[in-house]
Amino acid sequence: MKNLRIPLILGMFAAMNQAQAVDLMADFQKASTYDPSYQSALADFKASQASVMQAYTAYAPTGSINNSRLQTDANSRTTFTISQPLLNYEALAMFRQAEPRKGYASANFVLKQQDLAVRLLKAANAIILANENIKLNTAKSKALDQQYLAAKRKLELGQGTVTDLRDIEVKAAQTKSAQISFRNQLETAAKQYAAITGERPNLAEFVLPQKHAKFPLKGTEEYVDLALQNNPAIMAAKFGERVAELEVDKATGAFYPTLSVTYSDSKSASAENKYTAFVINMPLNAGSYFARLGVLATLDKAKENRRDTEEKARVEVDKLRAQIDTAAEGLDIQLDAIKAAELSVEANAKSYEGGVRSAVDVLNATQTVFQVKSEYVSAVASQTENLLMLMNLSNANPNESLETAYKYLFAR
C-alpha cells in the first residue's frame, strides 16, 4: 500500500512545467481580428466616427444647383446657390457635440475590447479546468487501480472482504465515467476558444505553474479614484451627459432666428442674375417646444445614468478588491489542505493495512485529495477573472489589464 501516497501539489505540476504556456496576448490580437461580436462592435465604432464627422460639418457652407423653367422664361434656367450660416445656435450646438460624441464612441469601443478580453480569459480558464480535471482524474484512476490490487491481495490472504473490492470497483467505474465527461468539457472549451480566436488552440499549452504569488493590491480608495478617472463605462456616461446637455442647447436653438449669407447665380439663355444677400430666418414651430421638453427629460436621465454608473463602479471595486485579497489567503490555505489530504490518504492506507481502517475510508480520503486539488485550480481561475475585472474597472487600456491577469495566471 505504500504506492498509494498521492504526490504533493508541486509534484502534480512538475510535468506541466516542461510545457510552454499559451501566449494569451497573441491570441487576444487574433481575437481582435476574428471574433464576430468584436467585429460588429468595430463596425458600430466606425459608424459612430462617421456621425462625428457629420457633426463637424454642421456649420459648414451648403450649396445647390437647380435646373428649372419658370412660366415667364422661354428657356430653362440654371441656378447655383451657396449659403454660409453666420449665426445659427442650433448648428453651433450640433458642431459642439462632435467631441463628446467622439469620446462616447471611443469609450464604448474600449468596453467592447474589455468584454473581448474577459471572454477570452474565461475561455482559457475553461480549457485549463478541463485539462486539470482530466489529469487529476487520471491520477485518481491509477490510485484506485493500486487500491484494487491491494484489496485483492488482502482477500487472497484472507484478510480482506469482497465488499472492499466491490466498493473500489464502483469508485473506479465512476472515475472512468467522469473522465468521459471531462474530455467532452475539454473539447467544448476548445471550440469556444476557437470561436473567439479563429484557431483551434494547442490544449497542451494551457497549464498552470507551480504556484501563484500574491498580487500587490492598491488601497480601495485608490482603485476607486482610478475608476472614476479611467473606467470607460463612467467615461461613456459622462460623454453621454455632455451630449444630452448640447441636445438641450440644440433644441433651444430651434426657437432662435438664424443669420446666413447667400450667394446666388441664376442663368438662362436670355439673362443672368447674380446676388449676394444676408438672410434672416425666424422659425415658428409649436412642436419645438414639446421637443425641448423631451430633450430635458433625456438630460435628466443621462445625469442619473452617470451617477448610477459611478456608484456601481465604487461598489464593484470594493467587492473585487476584498474578494481578491481574501482569495489570496484562501489559496495558501488550500495548498495546506492539499498537503493534509495527501497525508490523510497515506495514513488511511497504512491503517487499512493494519486492519484499523476500511477500504471505504481509504476511498473517501482519495476522493478528498483530488477534490481539494480541483478546487484549488478553480480558485486560481476565479481569482484571475476577478483580477482582470478589477483592472478593467481602474484602467482604460484593455491590453494592459489582460496582460496583468495573464502574468498572474501563468506566473510570468
Q: What is the end-to-end Cα distance of the chain in Å, rounded?
A: 39
Assign domain 25-209+219-322 to its CATH architecture: Up-down Bundle (1.20)
The confidence score (pLDDT) of residue 224 equals 94
Q: Name residues whose C-beta falls within 8 Å of residue 250's C-beta, 6 or more positions apart in sequence.
A: 90, 93, 94, 97, 295
The confidence score (pLDDT) of residue 17 equals 43
Q: How large is the average pLDDT for residues 107-113?
A: 96
Top mean pLDDT of 140-149, 253-262, 351-360 is at: 253-262
Is residue 253 over pLDDT 80? yes
How far, in Å, CA of 385 to CA of 117, rounded?
10
How far, in Å, CA of 396 to CA of 401, rounded?
8
Please state the φ and ψ torsions of residue 134, each to the nearest 5 degrees: -65, -45
Order the strands of the 272-281 sheet from edge to edge: 62-68, 77-87, 258-268, 272-281
Give the C-alpha distances (Å, rounded to integers) separating 256 from 83, 288, 294. 18, 11, 18
The confidence score (pLDDT) of residue 144 equals 76
What are 29's three cell numbers?
Answer: 490580437
Is residue 389 over pLDDT 80? yes
CB 79 within 8 A of CB 354: no
How far, in Å, CA of 162 to CA of 185, rounded?
35
What are 208's three cell numbers?
Answer: 498552470
Residue 248 binned pLDDT confidence (cut-offs 50, 70, 90): very high
The confidence score (pLDDT) of residue 1 equals 40
Residues 303-332 as b/e (b if ≥16 CB within 10 A, e otherwise) read: eebbeebbeebbebbeebbebbeebbebbe
The confidence score (pLDDT) of residue 15 equals 43
The confidence score (pLDDT) of residue 281 equals 87
| Chain segment 141-189, per-residue pLDDT in tens | 887 777 777 777 777 777 667 887 787 788 888 888 888 999 999 999 9
| Chain segment 190-213, per-residue pLDDT in tens | 999 999 999 999 999 898 887 787
Is residue 138 over pLDDT 70? yes
Please state the φ and ψ torsions of residue 355, each to the nearest 5 degrees: 80, 10
Residue 390 binned pLDDT confidence (cut-offs 50, 70, 90): very high
Q: Name residues whose C-beta falls within 8 Å of residue 128's C-beta, 6 or more positions apart in sequence.
A: 206, 207, 208, 377, 381
The confidence score (pLDDT) of residue 20 equals 63
Residue 284 binned pLDDT confidence (cut-offs 50, 70, 90): confident
Please state the φ and ψ torsions of residue 270, each to the nearest 5 degrees: -105, -20
Q: How large is the average pLDDT for residues 227-236?
A: 95
Residue 72 binned pLDDT confidence (cut-offs 50, 70, 90): low
- Residue extents of the structural domains in the chain: 25-209+219-322
How far, in Å, CA of 157 to CA of 153, rounded?
6
In degrees, rounded to 5, the angle at the alpha carbon of residue 127 between the alpha carbons of residues 125 and 130 is 105
- What's the whole-number average pLDDT of the chain? 85
CB 278 within 8 A of CB 247: no
Task: Please state the pTM of the whole predicted model.
Answer: 0.82
Q: Name residues whose C-beta falls within 8 Å of residue 35's C-beta, 6 or more positions apart in sequence.
A: 116, 119, 195, 196, 197, 198
The confidence score (pLDDT) of residue 128 equals 93
Please state the φ and ψ torsions of residue 268, each to the nearest 5 degrees: -140, 180
Q: Is 212 helix (H, G, I), strand (E, B) or coil?
A: coil
